[in-house]
Amino acid sequence: MIQDYVATQREGIREELRQYLRQSAGELSEVNEFGPEVAQLLEEFTEGGKMVRGALVVFAAELCGATPDRNHLRAAAALELVQSFLLIHDDIMDRDTTRRGKSSVYYGYVERARRRGISDSEHYGASIGICVGDVAMLLAVELLAQLELNSDLRVRLVGMLSHEIAQVGLAQMKDVDHGVAEDAITAEDVLRLYRYKTGRYTFALPLMTGAIIAGRESQMVEELGKLGEELGVIFQIKDDQLGLFGSVDTIGKPVGSDIKADKKTLFRLYLFENASDEDRRRLSQVFGSSEVSEADLEFVHDCLKRYRVPERVEDDLAQLKQRCEQMIAELPGVTRKARERLSALLEYNLTRDR
């Protein structure tokens, strides 16, 4: 089970993360009092995640026939810091006050500002949150640059990370723009967003990172990247599904937050394409509303079922699954066992419930 594999890797990644952030805390404290506070906050926030991305770095090394070493674990910790950076900023843009069952990072500072009597507490919290996210990202780059590898590999890894996360930034801009766009958005537009906002950094980046550290040739790295991109699209579609039909306990934030933010997901796209004029009018009032009630959520769920939207999304997932299976079968230079493990990763992606 992939979940079991991720669980076995978490402690090693956590330990590297703790060591690095606690060392950084001393250096950051020379700047001001926020230094050690942010280091501790990032340690707690990052350790609260599933650490799938970090575990995939180690997973890739094993797929490539290498024995994972400390470089893999430190690179894994770096990618988990990158994930924290993206989530912290994402919550600010989506105005999500909850993350992993607790106050999101920026909203924690909003609450602190309120206790201090700061007048514009929302702006204060968002501003501090942006800075915390920036620190997380730059610490991740620093950690990657410190790996005990030859300089060419370190430059390659840092360059790849920078390139991939720059693409995430552009995709995030498109996601924000989709929220206010009046022009028709196609399924191709949504899937392209998924590839660059989630797919590549969630699966392609860690798989390529692990393969590069393991010393594999460029072709293998490139093929793992292509496979990871498809796996990441599946991951995002399942995320959308959980955001609509999951629970606070499973997703760690309020159900329906994507409706409130009017996220242009495949579910929303297919729903509006097929809904009657009457239903579409009410749906237009619900999606993007500042408040989404239980009755609103029930109405959306009812419409999704009546218009058979989940079935249409399942058809898309079936096509993606077929594509991934072909890529796994054709992946060069891997053992049968490695292919079986990749197939298990694909199955986890398709069936995960959190």
| Domain boundaries of the chain, sorted by first residue | 2-351
Smallest CA-to-CA distance from 54 within 119, 103, 5 is with: 5
* % of the chain beyond a pLDDT of 90: 77
The residue among 264 and 88 whose pLDDT is bigger is: 88
CB 266 within 8 A of CB 190: yes
Calculate the alpha carbon distances from 101 to 45, 142, 255 in Å: 11, 30, 12
Name 70's Cβ contacts closer than 8 Å, sequence gap at least 6: 16, 148
Averaged pLDDT for residues 171-199: 89
pLDDT digits (tens, 9 = 90+) for 247-279: 666 555 566 778 888 888 999 999 999 999 999
b/e code 251-289 from CB counts within 10 Å (16+ = b)? bbbbbbbbbbbbbbbbbbbbbbebbeeebeeebeebbee
**What is the model's pTM?**
0.92
Tokens 């206790």 identify what position? 115
* Range in 55-59, 285-289, 332-336 with the lowest mean pLDDT: 332-336
Q: What local confidence, expressed as pLDDT, does residue 288 receive?
A: 86
**Confidence label for 334 from pLDDT (cuts 50, 70 and 90):** confident
Pull the structure tokens for residue 331.
Answer: 């992946």
**Confidence label for 192 from pLDDT (cuts 50, 70 and 90):** very high
Smallest CA-to-CA distance from 208 within 238, 143, 163 is with: 163
- Which amino acid type is present at position 151? S
CB 101 within 8 A of CB 44: no
pLDDT digits (tens, 9 = 90+) for 274-329: 999 999 999 999 998 888 889 999 999 999 999 999 999 999 999 999 999 999 99
2-351 CATH: 1.10.600.10
Average pLDDT of the chain is: 92
Q: What local confidence, expressed as pLDDT, does residue 319 receive?
A: 96
